[in-house]
Amino acid sequence: MTASTSAAGGRGAGPQEAGYEPDPHRWRALWVTLVAGFMSLLDVTIVAVALPTIQRDLNASPAQVQWVVSGYALTFALALVTAGHLGDALDRRRIFLLALSGFVICSAACGAAPDIMLLVVARLAQGLAAGFMAPQNSAFIQQMFRGAERGRAFGFFGATVGISSAAGPITGGAILALASGAEGWRWIFYVNVPIGILAILLGRHLLPRVGRSGRGHVDLPGVLLLGIGVFAVMYPLVQADSGGIGRMWWLFVVGVLILVGFARWQLRLVGRGAQPLLDPRLFTTVRGYAIGAGVGTLYFIGFSGVWLVFALFYQHGLGFSPLESGLAVTPFAVGSAGAAAVAGRLVDRLGRLLTVCGLVGVIVGMGGTALLIGLAPLDIAPWAAAPVLFLGGIGGGFVVSPNITMTLRDVPVRMAGAAGGALQTGQRLGAAVGTAALPGLFYLVLGRNDDYRTALVTALSAALVGMVASLALAAFDWQRDRRMRRPRRECPDEIAHSPMHARQT
């Protein structure tokens, strides 16, 4: 595939679009990127079930072992936008393969870590590698697919994002159940090594080669401003278990001010015709991008934290093993997997309505789960809630996949990496808020009345707030889309006629 081929594209374009020749390896290449993406996202949650074992085996403090999870999430989020921009400017195939290689090496280092400090360092590096790999996934879809095929490909990508979050607890529980000995937790990291090596070998053969775009300049002030701003916002959240929010609340203010400065700097670069790290016109002129990013961020605030809350309830409140705890939430993952694959075929026809229906399904599913666990006898409550949790999973499959498709499908291919990185940064920030707030609320209620059931119901009710806010934004976009009914364009005039765009093309 040539550089000119990769720059073509747009919604509704058929396989015979001028300048576009379908890559014969595109579907197999997609599965390589999805497997790699699944590993990187799964590692956000899979480790949570092994934390007690890791703490005992490495004689670590609770604050130290928490960094095994939070440190990975932090460096993951810090890398996304810069990595996406570098993929657009240089060579996303090379960056993807180098990042995947780094992820495999760091996974092996995590598994072999002799003490908690080396494990934390390896996890920080592993998160950085994952952050460089993740935005290339959506960019490859923009590059390799057009028209209805792009919707299907984003459907599979959305399924990967949604399922990886829900599948972490059961996957970690299964590995701990199969691995014998006190150090069985190490296989949670080792399992990435053979899968990653196979993905590297296949990726070298299948991923499309693209000529350098000639945009090698990197906005270093933008990189620093964005990195410091995201760090300042996320650091108190990843330290929430040790009182980080109360002690470092001022970092939120600092982070917001720095991010405002970053936005002003990007606008200044655009005004001078220079190349920004993240083009602000993605949010102002690319149809659906700003709304989609908001919908995704709000949804992940409510969605991400519920799995930690479920794990706390089932393992500490009901005495479930990690595997049993994972099996109890499997209906959501099953429903989400099936719905996401179907959603990729429906999104062109239904548009934002599909997201609205999906959010209604998630809200009904989670609300019904909270109601049944609150009322049913505890010995049957998890299994009585399984059908409504399955319904919530179907709704979730209709949220993540279509929202990613509608958010990114009109983005110019040359900006696909940065756009995908910014979208995932919002999702990671939302996930950080959710995973800090919901378990914190769970423990707060538990400390007052020592009632696990009430603590779970309260936390799930709080999660619904984020989902309802996401629904309100999606419904607004759906109604606006019905009123406007204007054709979508991949590259808005404001970008297409800009001095920067003219130099790039």
> The pTM is what?
0.75
Q: How confident is the model at residue 180 (pLDDT cuts 50, 70, 90)?
A: low
Burial category of 247 from C-beta neighbours within 10 Å (exposed 0-12, middle 13-18, buried 19 and up): exposed
Which tokens belong to 429?
A: 């920030």
> What mean pLDDT is predicted for residues 410-424?
78
pLDDT given at position 14: 40
Percent of the chain with pLDDT over 70: 87
For the chain, the C-alpha Rg in angstroms (whole number) is 22
pLDDT given at position 241: 63
CA distance 65 to 433: 19
- Measured CA to CA in angstroms, residue 253 lies from 108, 229, 256 at distances of 38, 10, 5
Closest alpha carbon to 159 in 421, 413, 342 = 342
Is the pLDDT confidence value at 140 over 80? Answer: yes
> What mean pLDDT is predicted for residues 139-167?
77
Which tokens belong to 443?
A: 């423990």
pLDDT given at position 194: 94
Which tokens belong to 484?
A: 């406007």
SS3 146: coil
Q: Where are the beta strands (DSSP E) in 322-471?
A: none
The DSSP output letter for 11 is T
Q: What is the pLDDT of residues 8-64, one digit of tens each?
A: 333 343 434 445 677 788 899 999 999 998 888 888 778 877 877 888 888 888 777
CA distance 70 to 408: 28
Count of CB atoms within 10 A of residue 244's CB? 19
Is the pLDDT confidence value at 211 over 80? Answer: no
The DSSP output letter for 213 is -
> According to DSSP H, which parts of 145-219 are helical?
147-178, 187-190, 192-206
Is the pLDDT confidence value at 118 over 90? Answer: yes
Is the pLDDT confidence value at 411 over 90? Answer: no
Which tokens belong to 410?
A: 């009109």
pLDDT given at position 242: 64
CA distance 69 to 311: 15
CB 293 within 8 A of CB 430: no
Count of CB atoms within 10 A of residue 71's CB? 20
pLDDT given at position 190: 92
CA distance 297 to 389: 22
Residue 136 vs residue 219, higher pLDDT: 136
Q: What is the pLDDT of residues 461-495, one digit of tens each?
A: 999 998 999 999 999 988 887 777 655 554 554 45
The DSSP output letter for 79 is H
CA distance 151 to 146: 8
Is the pLDDT confidence value at 7 over 60? Answer: no
pLDDT given at position 485: 62
Residue 218 vs residue 198, higher pLDDT: 198
Q: What is the largest CA-CA distance in the chain?
A: 67
